[in-house]
Every structure is written in C-alpha cells, then in structure tokens.
Homo-oligomer: A and B are copies of this chain.
C-alpha cells in the first residue's frame, strides 16, 4: 500500500463507528445498520474503494443536502415476479437491500424475481446484494448506473458509468468461502485505482484511459486532472477501438445503463453527474441513479447441493488448469476477497491517514465521542479533510 501509514481497526469497532456515523447523519437505526453492513462488507473483503474510505462521501452528500438521510420507498409497479421501486432521493443501501430481498422472495415463489429501483443514490458495493441472494440459495445479479466515466468505442467522451455487472452464486469450492463472487465495473479500471497509482507515483498501464487526442496516456497525475476536465475517459473492458473487443465492454456497459435507467425513474449518462454550474458556481444536483436486482432460485432448476457441486467442479477444474509459466495460482472470483476476510479477521481493517482525517472531521461535526471506539488514531484532526470532489 505504498508509503501511506495505516492504523488497524477491529471488525466490530469499525462496524459500530460506521453505524453510529450513519445514525449521526440522520439515517434511521434500521437503515443505518444496513448502510454499515454494506460498507463493512467492502472493508472486510478488501474492496477498499468502497469501504470506510467512502463513508465521508455519503456524509458530504447528506451534509450538503444532495441526498436525503431518510429513504421513503414507493412500490410503483408490481407483478408476481417483479417490482419497480422509487427511493425519493434517499440512501441507496436500504432501498437496495429491500429490493434484492423482494427479488429473492419472488424467486422463491416464481423461480426468478427482478426488482428495479429509481430515484436512488450510490448503493455501495454491488456485490453485497448479489451475496444476499447467494446466501439464500439463489444466483444473484445486480447492476447500477453511475457518474459518466466510460467513453463508447471510437469516442473520447465520458458517457457511461463504470456500470458494474455483478454476480454471485453458492458453491462447494472452499477457497471462495462458499460463494463465487464477481463484483466489477464494465470498464477496465476505475478512478479509485488510478488515484491509488498516482499516490504511489506509478504510471497507469497503457489502455486504461483514452484522452481527447485519442491517445492512451499513462501519467496518472495528468490523467486525474484530464478526467475532471472531461479531457480523458475510462476505456471499456477490451480497451480502445475494436481490435481487442472494446465494443463488447462498451455493449455490456450500455446494457447496464439501460437496465438501470430504462425500467424505473432514473437519470442516465451525463445527467448522473451530480452537479451543474451556474456561472462559476458549482450547484449540486440529486443523482437519481437506477439499479436492478435479479434473483434466480436454484431449487427451481436443480437441487441446491447438486448445483453447488457442479459449480464447484467447474471452479476446481479452472483452478487446476495448466498454469502460465511463472504463475503460481489460478484464482476464481471471490477467492482473493475471501482470503482477505481471513487475514483481516486477524489484523483488523487498515485505515489510511487520509481516511482517518475524514472520519475525525465527520465525528467532530456529528458530536460523536471518539472514546467510544478502540481506535489508535495515527493523526490528529486538523480540519483539513474535504470531500475530494465527491
């Protein structure tokens, strides 16, 4: 993790801090528990782009009135296997938790269920919701749109969100901890990873980004500036152009955008930016994101144990395939994340100093008592945290 300094926080303490922070923002207790669960799932799995480092983002958005701490959920349409919800610009996590649970319940009756959510906000790691389904004997699929980031093939303009298409299913392949778990954007990479490379003064691999000149720049500090100025965009999975299949990633990102925004009341593409300018003044807008949740009840097709054995057999075979010279392990999706859970159970969750400063500012403003949390802070609150463009 480069030159950054970290403090390590026990699981329970961090979850408690997260829950109390959401309550402090005005999120009702039950919803705050869900918000903390979603955040913490990322923390323990090592998906650090979506863990405690994002807590301040939610705080900043609620603080400036861009999204509501309370989530009024409306069921706008419903059939035996489907429903369409609206979240009234509230928190993305509780409405998404409800939506996936509805999809699972409908799947248990009809065999498959799907629920969409409109007028929503950032819902945390997509994988939390697909895991919910997997833990209840279903195949879980979810996606969401997001701020414009990906350039369509032959374009240089950020249009589509990083639009994850995320899946989980149960398996008896033990290195996954029981759940195959693929949670990733339909772009090659995401802004957070470029920021991380920039902090390490590392160049980006060629092909992650396309700039206005049609080049694939590698200077991470320049890329970050250009992205803010809309002079650079992320490339879709498969990269720029068509030669290595970039149109496929672009198509999957488009599919997620349409499924997220076309089946509910949601913004799409450039309207998901979250702000506009009036003269030189930045004015924040509601994101009004859309999400979708699909659950497939495995028992409608196959006995659950047989399915787990088949999926396990497929994963075992892939893991045991002939290795590339120099490679020592073939992973399956969810394996690295499960390994991280086992490690962090021992070490605790790492908090960078930047994250600590954000938390201390938030806790100060929300009048949270630091002594309630057994955390060895390695920095002092200096009032210098900011929302980092969130």
Contact = CB atoms under 8 A, between A and B. Distances in A.
A119 to B, nearest CB: 14
A324 interface: yes
A193 to B, nearest CB: 11
A189 B113 CA distance: 33
A56 interface: no
B318 A159 contact: yes
A313 interface: yes
Contact of A80 (B81, B83, B262, B325): B81
A34 interface: no
Contact of A139 (B160, B257, B259, B332): B259
A239 B239 CA distance: 10
For this chain, the copies found in one complex come to 2
A298 B262 CA distance: 9
B159 A254 contact: no
Given A255-B182, A263-B307, A155 B322 contact: yes
Contacts of A237: 237-238, 245, 248-249
A269 B238 contact: no
Interface string A50-93: 00000000000000000000000000010111111000000000
A319 B61 CA distance: 32
B269 A317 contact: yes
A111 to B, nearest CB: 3
A233 to B, nearest CB: 9
Contacts of A114: 111-112, 296
A205 interface: yes
Contacts of A268: 310, 313-314
B255 A321 contact: no
Given A110-B81, A255-B167, A321-B152, A310 B262 contact: yes
Contacts of A357: none
Given A80-B80, A139-B259, 8 more contacts: A79-B300, A82-B301, A112-B112, A152-B321, A167-B251, A180-B258, A261-B314, A262-B310
